[in-house]
Amino acid sequence: MSDATRIAENARRADIRNRWWLTAPALFILFVAAIGPLLVVLLYSFMLKGDFGDVKYGQFSLDGWFSVFFERDIFDDTVGIAEAHVSILWRSVKLSLITTLLTLFIGFPTAYYISIQEPRRRDLLVFMVTIPFWTNILIRTFAMQEVVRNEGVINTLLVWSGIVDRPIQIMYTDWAIFFGMVYVYLPLMVLPLYASMEKIDFRLVEAGYDLYAGRFQVLRRVIIPLVKPGIVAGSILVFIPSLGAYVTPRVLGGGKNLMLGNLIDLQFGQGKNWPLGSALSITLLVIVTVALLFYVRNASKSGGGHGH
Amino acid sequence: MASTANAIDARGVSKVFKGAGQDEVRALDNVSVTIRENEFFTLLGPSGCGKTTLLRLIAGFDFPTEGEILLHGENIALLPPYKRPVNTVFQNYALFPHMTVGQNIAFGLEMLGKPKDEIAARVSEMLKLVRMEELKDRRTSQISGGQQQRVALARALAPRPKVLLLDEPLSALDYKLRKDMQIELKRLQHDTGITFIFVTHDQEEALTMSDRIAVMSKGKILQVGSPHDIYVRPVDHFVANFIGETNFLKGKVISSKGGKATVELAPGGTLLADVPEAGLPKGEISLVVRPENATLVKPGKGDLSGTVETIVYFGTDTHVHLKLTDGTAFMVRQQNAAGSGVDVKTGDKAGIAIAAGTPRILMD
Amino acid sequence: MATERRKPFAIKAQPGFGLVAMLCFFMLYLPIAILVVYAFNAGENIALWEGFSLRWFQSAWANETVQEAAMRSLFLASVSATIATIVAGMAAIATTRTAPYRGLTFKYAMINQPLMVPEIVTAVSLLIVFSRFKVWTGYSGIGYLVLAHTAFCIPFAYLPIRARLENMDLTLERAAADLYATPWQAFKRVTLPLLVPGLVAGYMLAFVISLDDVVITEFVKSGGQETLPTYMLGQLRRAVSPEINAIATVFLALSVLLVTLFYFVNRKKN
């Protein structure tokens, strides 16, 4: 009678084998051009830097990791904090956090407003958020440049109205980067927020009002807890790319106000310090992974509602 | 060859599903059943009783852990579904959304490699059979639920299967349509002469449509018989309770002779009841009295006495719920025809007369 | 009879939210609008409006470097999206509608990995590896860009295909098998036709993602392999000419077109 069991087991094995064959091409491409290179970066972060870029193969060294946070004085060889790196790291985290908060403050009411519209208008508004979302980040950064540059809209308006007599410098400052990032990542906040607001059961809101809650109390005690997964998702979706931002600070910061992404780039370019660049990359990756793990934990905690 | 061969012969069929970790679910537990040719056979039971699992084993979507399934004497238990001359009408119809009604019906015939003109002829024949001729070129999304149901039937019947399996096909339809389709299904079964195996959890549907019914619970078949058999002679508590409304009375057998036993009832009094074919169970027994076989009489008369607790009006009849002297609940169904029944109100004492020959002792 | 007419209490409304939303849309579209408007400016100064003109479109069109970069971008996007859609489609079939099996989580992680790694990290990792390859093999053609683009397009192509598969009614294939279709016939006649909208959506997403990429391309490309975005990035460092506005406008129009198409493909499937 084990015939049936045997046949079923064989069929299951064959099925799994087929499933591996079907996935093989994708896994191969991803190994060669995604995972594999990441492992190489990890390896490179532990090697001695080459004289003209690259690394000296087979020569193990912790210099790369050491110089992420510390630097040796050229004259007396004393060890000090690598202030440049630490301040860039700090700037990156700070700008990313502020960007996340501001996009949340703008994105939350926007997403909520969209979600309470009648279907046709709602679809149109979502579509209008989707368009910038899928528009090239470079183009959007460039568009922001048109706004903040000395001859740009803001300054033209300020000068024309007589508030200032000559343009204020926004371009190539942290402000420009900040404006640019909020602008570029705003859709990333609105879309996941909308996705969870769309599912709000408004009978719960009615129940809130029925039980004597005011507008603000309903918002704070009913709506916000209900859309918490969306808030977390949106925040993570904004925070992660902000932290690794490269294009926006490069264009709007003008090479002076660096963020982590540009610092990494620098090590592979002029800096010719690939181990340091690799170590910085891994550092960035670790921060991002921690943020993602936080998200996953949060999502699985609050995602209990949709069983199978 | 086998002149009166059975359509389906399931022998000692078990199906074990591996759950999480060490858990095992025995969806079917050593089930044996014989389904005759040209029969409307119903598998009836609550959800999770194994009826759908048995159907899926016959269709070939799953394979039994143990046992054989014979189709006209040939073991098909391990054949893939596309090698079995058996077709299914799915619960949600599973019509191909990218094909028209006609293409759906032609699908099975195409897969069998039938010539084009034969397919065309058979498709129109099927459309005519289910009275859908004018909808041949419609998309399946453009027709109503009842029409989808007919297309699903036509599609499954088109290859002339030896057995047609129907997995709760009427559950998605509203009441009126369901009634119409019940009649339609009976007609189709009669016209085509194909064996139908019908799965449902609706006892009324099972009683009205089937030649024979198998009542299932927890992976076992409890009783197989004609609708009348099952209703009048339920073997145990589960069957009696699942089919129709029932009163249970506890008691002790005083004497038995020739298939009848005299029972001393717990609420007092004695009754003559039928003994199950398998013999009398030991110890205290239960017997079953259908509410329509009991009538209200004057207090002190009849076989039992009790107090009226609730009266529920149902149009054609009235349900009178009583509490017997020992606390047992009992329900009497009274016809509402003019002049019939005894006028009672809540709190009244009343006697209950039970029609002779109707009480039956259960096996458990 | 003081029947003061009051607005009925709106259950869903929150004060000020509409205003913020309007502000948000204004913010999203103002910079783009300015960018587009100045693409049509007759003058060189991007702050002064000197009349309507298509001269910047003409000069961009006549610019051979731009033409070449545009062609390269389109080539890269179509080849990468095609490969990505095929391999992601196969992977989606292999990773959906199954009881969990050993390695399934590994596959998910592998496929989604490019979504979780910051672009700059992927970019430098590819720079390291591919610069080695270039030395070893002596080949420095566009193959590296195709490979890199395909890799990061895979998760984008995978998502809609997988979603489509998961929403597909499993009983349809069961019904096909019941009606004598062998597994291959069932796939060809039932699964594949129903999968088409997912494949189209996946292809389009992959196409847009490839077309838009600037960071990874910037690090992987060999000399003379500018794509439109890397060309623009290079130009932005110099004095900006409205020619860039013109290019950006065309690019923008293409994105809008693709998103609109995607939107309708996705809507039709319901």
Count Cα atoms within 13 angstroms, Cβ side, for C52: 0
**Cα(A20)–Cα(B182) distance, rounded to whole angstroms?**
47
Q: Range with the lowest mean pLDDT among C135-139, C141-145, C146-150, C233-237?
A: C233-237
Q: Residues B225-242: what's their mean pLDDT?
A: 93
pLDDT given at position A71? 79
Which DSSP helix (H) or strand (E) runs through B310? strand B304-313
Average pLDDT score over residue span A266-272: 88
The predicted structure's pLDDT at residue C30: 92
| Domain final residue, candidates A40, A57, A80 | A80
CATH fold of B246-361: OB fold (Dihydrolipoamide Acetyltransferase, E2P) (2.40.50)
Mean pLDDT of A260-288: 92
Mean pLDDT, residues A211-227 taken together = 90
Predicted ipTM of the assembly: 0.90
> CB A241 to CB C129 under 8 A?
no
Q: Whose structure tokens read 């403050």?
A: A105
Whether residue A249 is found in the same domain as residue A295: yes
Residues A86, A218: one domain? yes
Do both A18 and A95 map to the same domain?
no
Residues of chain B with CATH 2.40.50.140: 246-361
Residue of C263, C102, C202 lying closest to A26 (CA atoms): C202
Q: Do B66 and A4 touch (CB under 8 A)?
A: yes
Q: Which of residues 260-299 of A touch B (CB under 8 A)?
A: none
Q: What is the pLDDT of residue A1?
A: 43
3-state secondary structure at position B94: coil
- The pLDDT of residue A307 is 33
DSSP string for A244-274: T--HHHHHHHTTTS--HHHHHHHHHTTT--H
Report the pLDDT value the prediction gives residue A304, as an integer from 0 to 100: 41
In our burial notation (b when 16+ CB lie closer than 10 A, e otherwise), range C103-125 reads ebeebeebbebbeebbbbbbbbb
CATH architecture of B8-232: 3-Layer(aba) Sandwich (3.40)
DSSP assignment letter at A118: -
Instruction: Check CB contact under 8 Å for B63 and A7.
Output: yes
A interface mutation test: which of C41, C46, C128 has the most A CBs within 10 A?
Answer: C128
Q: Could you tell me if A168 and A180 lie in one domain?
A: yes
* Cross-chain CB nearest to C110 (options A35, A152, A205): A35
The residues, any chain, with a CB within 8 Å of residue A72's CB and separated by 6 or more, are A78, A79, A80
Q: What percentage of chain C has pLDDT greater than the value 70?
A: 94
pLDDT value, residue A305: 41
Q: What pLDDT does A308 receive?
A: 33
Give the chain C residue whose CA is nearest to the CA of A209.
C11
Residue predicted with more confidence, B137 or C239: B137
**pLDDT band of C46, cuts 50, 70, 90:** low
Q: Which of A24-28, A304-308, B153-157, C78-82 has the lowest mean pLDDT?
A: A304-308
Architecture of domain C65-238: Orthogonal Bundle (1.10)
Residue B313 has pLDDT above 80, yes or no: yes
**Cβ-based contacts of A116 with chain C (< 8 Å):** 12-13
- Average pLDDT (A85-114) is 93
What are the pLDDT digits (tens) for C165-196?
A: 998 888 999 999 999 999 999 999 999 999 99
| d(C-alpha A259, C-alpha A240), whole Å | 13
pLDDT tens column, C197-238: 999 999 999 999 999 999 999 999 998 899 999 999 988 876
Confidence of residue C1 (pLDDT cuts 50, 70, 90): very low
> C183 φ, ψ to 5°?
-55, -40
pLDDT digits 0-9 by tens, B55-93: 999 999 988 988 999 999 999 988 889 999 999 999 989
Average pLDDT over residues C236-256: 85
Q: Which residues on neighbouring strands pair with residue B351, listed in sequence order?
A: B297, B305
Note whether A49 and A91 are same-domain residues: no
Distance from CA of C168 to the nearest CA of B (A): 11
Is the pLDDT at C48 greater than 80? The verdict is no
The residue type found at B40 is: F
Q: Is C128 in contact with A278 (Cβ distance < 8 A)? A: yes
Do A107 and A188 sit in the same domain of this protein? yes
Q: Cα dihedral sign for A52, A53, A57, A58?
A: positive
CATH number for the domain harbouring residue A151: 1.10.3720.10
Q: Is B321 helix (H, G, I), strand (E, B) or coil?
A: strand
Q: If you average pLDDT over every residue of chain B, what do you get?
A: 90
Question: What is the nearest CA distance from A4 to chain C, expressed in angstroms?
Answer: 19
Q: Give mean pLDDT, residues B313-337.
A: 89
Q: What is the average per-residue pLDDT within B299-313?
A: 90
pLDDT number for residue C268: 58
What total of structural domains would you count in chain A? 2
Instruction: Give chain A positions within 8 Å (CB) of C158.
Output: 26
Structure tokens at C10: 């709106």
Using DSSP's 3-state secondary structure scheme, residue B268 falls into coil
Give the pLDDT of residue B2: 42
Q: DSSP E strands: which ranges in chain A?
A: 47-49, 55-60, 70-72, 79-81
Average pLDDT over residues B154-172: 93
Of A22, A46, A80, which residue sits at a domain end? A80
Each residue of B166-210: pLDDT tens digit?
999 988 888 888 898 899 899 999 999 999 999 999 999 999 999
- Residue A55 sits in the same domain as residue A76: yes
CA B6 vs CA B1, B36, B53, B238, C87: distances in Å: 12, 5, 20, 28, 49
Share of chain C above pLDDT 90, in %: 66
Q: How far apart are CA A209 and CA B276, in angstroms?
A: 62
At B171 the pLDDT is: 86
What residues contact residue A123 under an 8 Å CB cut-off, 6+ apart?
none
Q: Determine the residue of chain A that is closest to B68 in CA distance.
A: A1
- Residues of chain A in contact with residue C27, where contact means CB-CB under 8 angstroms, are 106, 183, 186
Q: Which of residues 78-137 of A touch C (CB under 8 A)?
A: 106-107, 109-110, 112-114, 116, 125, 127-132, 134-137
Q: Are residues A98 and A204 in the same domain?
A: yes
Do A74 and A106 share a domain, yes or no? no
- Whether residue A267 sits in one domain with residue A137: yes
In one-letter notation, the amino acid at residue B226 is S
Q: Which of C101, C167, C169, C178 to mutate to test the interface with B (most CBs of B within 10 A)?
A: C178
Residues of chain B positioned with their CB less than 8 A from the CB of A1: 66-67
In this predicted structure, the answer to whether residue C123 has a pLDDT above a threshold of 50 is: yes
Q: Which residue of C has its CA nearest to A244?
A: C118
Mean pLDDT of chain C: 89
Backbone torsions φ then ψ of C134, nearest 5 degrees: -60, -40
Mean pLDDT of A69-90: 81
Per-residue pLDDT tens digits for A177-209: 999 999 999 999 999 999 999 988 888 988 988
How far apart are the CA of A2 and the nearest CA of chain B, in angstroms?
7
Based on the fold, state whether residues A236 and A89 are members of the same structural domain.
Answer: yes
Contact assignment for A41 to C125 by CB distance below 8 Å: yes
The whole model's pTM is what? 0.84
Give me the domain span that covers residue A215. Answer: 82-305
Distance CA B139, CA B102 (A): 9
Partner residue opposite C18 with nearest CB, options A113, A187, A284: A113
SS3 state of residue B275:
coil
The residue among B30, B66, B68, B76 with the most chain A CBs within 10 A of its CB, best to mutate, is B66
- Confidence band, pLDDT 50/70/90 cuts, at residue B4: low
A170 and A247 in a common domain = yes
Chain B residues in contact with A5 by the CB 8 A cut-off are: 65
